[in-house]
A and B are shown apart, each in its own frame.
Chain A
Amino acid sequence: MNSVKTLSLSCRNPNRRRLNRRQRTLVVVALAAAYLLLLLGGGLLLGEEGLSTNLTRRNMPPSLSYPLGTDWLGRDMLARTVQGLSLSFAVGLAAAGTSAFIALVLGLTSALGGKRLDTVITWLVDLFLAVPHLVLIILIAFVFGGGITGVIAGVTFTHWPALTRLLRAEVLQLRSAEFVLVSRRLGRSRWWVATRHLLPHLKPQFLVGLILLFPHAILHEAAVTFLGFGLSPHRPAIGVILSESMHYLSAGSWWLAFFPGLALLTMVRAFDVLGDNLRLLFNPRSAQE
């Protein structure tokens, strides 16, 4: 008898594994989104108190009153880390948003526009991908005078090519799909096909692509500020906190470097998880199982 698993044919029995998978995905998405909002909001809530120098509490290791310890000027590391993260979040938001917009515009025009336009845009994409990201960001940041605007411009101009290529490939494939050709022969205009046929397909791709753009943008922003670009004295970015902490490593205050980096890691990981699970919700087959 090869009755591996006898399955009762009625579908009403609540199968424990099904609820679990869907429930688990929704819970994860909610957690990731809540964590990110907490970070963004946290920057405003904690206010200035923690950031002011207070020489009485210098170099204190992590304790109950100061969970992430204090630095060489007595500033509470928790407040500084959260401020830094919310700045990185804002910069990531601006950079990822703009580059995603550029990618949408260029991706669509190169796929739907004429042959010449397509070759120019693909060549431009290759040009931007020809130079390593970080070197290009340094160049752009330097050109913009090294301030925070330089960092945002740098991160923005290096992240649009990958998403453009993805969107262009998707539109090219859709444009020659059978149902689009049929629609054209049924008398529908090019514009009608683009809005009614292509857009519904592009929306999930674009949204997931946008969310997965955040981690890269934030990591590069932190890297560039770590290297010394975009130094803004009043609002400390994560990169700045970490680069300053380097001087005190050998002095033994390890917590200055460890916790900010870990916080950045968790924030970036939250974006990754959010992006992946949303893709799973949109189209179960295409996501990594």
Chain B
Amino acid sequence: MKHQEAITPLLEVSDLSISFTQYTGGLRQKTIRAIVNLSVNVKPGEVLAIVGASGSGKSLLAHAIIGILPGNASVAGKMVYAGEPLTPARQAALRGREIALVPQSVNFLNPLMRVGAQVRSSALNGNDAAVQREIFTRYHLAAGTEQLFPFQLSGGMARRVLVATAAAGGAQLIIADEPTPGLHPAIVRETLAHLRELSTAGRAVMLITHDIIAALETADRIAVFYAGATVETAPVTDFRSEGELLRHPYSKALWQALPQNGFRPVPGCQPSLDDLSCGCLFAPRCPMASPHCLTAEPALRSLRGGEAKCHHAA
């Protein structure tokens, strides 16, 4: 694994907060904070995995970076891409060209449009039909695939087509949102290998998933996502044996709770989305928690080649 620290990150997200105003029964309004002060960065030629429980708001991060959040979302914080701030105008220019999304399943493709035509729409430079066919052959998709409709694709074919749409655009930053849900292990490995290829070709790949095993097999660095923020970013080599190299208590708990490690859980559960108190959000469940943790929210500080958001991490 190349020495990563020296390379300047392609994308830098610092203190990002996303919240929604939702209407409940009787038209009472509720503010839900999905992401709270999240900081993460991705370097070219690297696969960064963001691991967290499903449904905890991770894919909102992808949508915020690309700038396709729904109307009732309000965003705060700083995002810098290739040295310049990522303003909505710039996002519109980069979308599909430099920043590409690999969505989760085949119903992200237009059901009434042939698959070839949809991939061609994202191949912007050069003759799009030729680029599309070349990409399809590279991903071992039979010549006839471009005439098929999305509902005719099998699980594996669908995954390859979705990755092809990202690769066809020549994007520098590729964000894969939950690419491995309920698939046959062989197809999962193949999809992750494709993402790996893209990163060795010099592109930055951000893999968002709840499957820590898939992340460990593919990523160079892993960011652990908890209660709306990345509590730790660590090189993949730190995830071994008892997890003693890990910094944040939650990543340690996550590692030790895995069936193949110790299957020993930490009591309590993630705080619900709308009553996030100040102070460290893991404090109520943290074995090393001190009164200081309950009041002051820890800042993300770099530690032994990674980062951790904890007062006592060593």
Contact = CB atoms under 8 A, between A and B. Distances in A.
Interface in A121-179: none
Nearest to B26: A281
A24 to B, nearest CB: 9
Given A7-B17, A9-B17, A9-B33, A2 B27 contact: no
A2 B17 contact: no
B78 interface: yes
A3 interface: yes
B24 interface: yes
Given A18-B21, A284-B25, A5 B74 contact: yes
Nearest to A7: B74
Interface in B10-68: 17, 19, 21, 23-29, 31, 33, 36
Given A1-B85, A2-B85, A284 B27 contact: yes
Contacts of B33: 9
B27 A25 contact: yes
A6 B85 CA distance: 16
Contacts of B19: 7, 9
Interface residues of B, number: 23
A17 B275 CA distance: 22
B29 A2 contact: no
A25 B29 CA distance: 13
A11 to B, nearest CB: 5
Contacts of A1: 78, 85
Given A4-B88, A7-B74, A11-B31, A283 B25 contact: yes
A284 B17 contact: no
Given A9-B17, A282-B25, A3 B31 contact: no
B216 to A, nearest CB: 32
* Interface size range on A against B: 20 to 34
B48 to A, nearest CB: 20
B79 A2 contact: yes
Contacts, number: 54
A1 B84 CA distance: 9
Contacts of A281: 25-27
A2 B78 contact: yes
Most buried by A among B23, B26, B28, B31: B23
A5 B27 contact: no
Interface in A263-289: 280-285
A185 interface: no
Nearest to A284: B23
Contact of A280 (B17, B27, B88): B27
Interface string B286-307: 0000000000000000000000
B24 A4 contact: no
Contacts of A285: 23
A11 B22 CA distance: 13
Contacts of B26: 22, 281
B86 A284 contact: no
B237 interface: no
Nearest to B33: A9
Interface string A1-29: 11111110101000100100110010000
B75 interface: yes
Of A2, A21, A285, the most chain B CB neighbours within 10 A belong to A2
Given A9-B33, A22-B29, A284-B23, A3 B74 contact: no
A111 B305 CA distance: 63
A179 to B, nearest CB: 18
B76 interface: yes
A15 B28 CA distance: 12
B12 to A, nearest CB: 11
A21 B27 contact: yes
B8 interface: no
Nearest to A22: B27
B74 A4 contact: yes
Nearest to A3: B76
B109 to A, nearest CB: 25
Contacts of B87: 2
A5 B17 CA distance: 10
Contacts of A11: 31
Given A22-B27, A281-B27, A2 B74 contact: no
Contacts of A5: 74-76
A5 B75 CA distance: 6
B24 A2 contact: no
Contacts of A21: 23, 27, 29
Interface of A: 1-7, 9, 11, 15, 18, 21-22, 25, 280-285
28 contacts: A2-B78, A2-B79, A2-B86, A2-B87, A2-B88, A3-B75, A3-B77, A3-B78, A4-B74, A4-B76, A5-B75, A6-B76, A7-B19, A7-B74, A9-B33, A9-B36, A15-B21, A15-B29, A18-B21, A22-B27, A22-B28, A25-B27, A280-B27, A281-B26, A281-B27, A283-B25, A284-B24, A285-B23
What are the 8 closest A-B residue pairs judged by CB atoms, nearest first? A284-B23, A18-B29, A22-B27, A7-B74, A2-B79, A5-B74, A6-B76, A4-B75
